[in-house]
Amino acid sequence: MEFSEKYADYIKLLRERLDDFRFEHSMAVARQAVVLAERFGEDKEKAYVAGLLHDICKNLKREEQLQFFSTSAIMLTETEKNSPKVWHAISGAQFLKDNLKITDQDIINAVRYHTTGRAGMSKLEKIIYIADLTGLDRTYPDVDVLRKIVEESLDEGLIYALKFTVTSLISKEQPIHPDTLNAYNDLIGSRK
């Protein structure tokens, strides 16, 4: 892999912070992010780094997440308090800034919005969102449908994935983050 030696320190950190499953997932998302960056004309190295680090806070326990928010002075909205699956994206972005001293705002945002999306996503944000769902480690039933869609269009892939997320959150009667709905509305509204 072209960037794995350069980012050996990040890979070592992932080994320490993540379980085996999440470690392999992160490596797969980094690889897939490079494939998508090549396909859609984005910076491959930025895509690799964002993919590698997107779930860096995924294995923090509930209490550790809340502690991290408190020490970083992060205030969660009511919806976010009731959406623990979204927490690792918020803490992950903060971890990149504070602990890893990453200053590239696009990489930080790609981690921050990889779970929900948002209105006006950058190309890198879209690539990480889709790489997360289409890496070689993913095996859910529709994964090949999504892989096929993103051979042509990142935006159509996002609409497909957001449709799935919103529908399944509704069916489980879980809160939908406003960023998730804003991403959906934005992409549907700008569809050609």
- Site residues (vs Fe ion, CB under 5 A): 55, 132
Residue 169 contacts ligand DGI per CB under 6 A: yes
What is the rounded (10 degree) CA torsion for 35, 105, 49, 139?
-60
Residue 174 interacts, among Fe ion, ligand DGI, none and using kind-specific CB cut-offs from 5 to 8 Å, with ligand DGI
Contact status, residue 115 vs residue 85, Cβ threshold 8 Å: yes
Angle at 120 between CA 115 and CA 123, to 5 degrees: 75
CA–CA distance, 172 with 93 (Å, rounded to integer):
27
Q: Which residues of 69-92 are buried (b: 16+ CB within 10 A; e: fewer)?
A: beeeebeeeeebeebeebbbbbbb
Instruction: Specify the residue, 172 or 192, whose C-beta has the smaller distance to ligand DGI.
Output: 172
Among 46, 58, 112, 118, binds ligand DGI (CB under 6 A): 58
CB of 85 to ligand DGI, least distance (A): 4
Q: How far is the CB of 138 from Fe ion (least distance, A)?
A: 9
Looking at 2-10, 91-99, 147-155, 168-176, which segment touches ligand DGI (CB under 6 A)? 168-176
- Among positive and negative, which fits the CA dihedral 89, 64, 100, 94? positive
DSSP 116: T
What mask of x and - would describe binding to ligand DGI in positions 110 to 149, judged by CB under 6 A? ----xxx---------------x-----------------
Span interacting with ligand DGI, options 82-90, 94-102, 104-112, 149-157, rule CB under 6 A: 82-90
Cα 1 to chain center, whole Å? Answer: 21
Shortest distance, CB of residue 27 to ligand DGI, whole angstroms?
A: 13
CB of 192 to ligand DGI, least distance (A): 25
- Alpha-carbon distance of 50 to 127, in angstroms, equals 10
Interface contacts to ligand DGI, rule CB under 6 A = 55, 58, 83, 85-86, 89, 114-116, 132, 165, 169, 174-177, 180
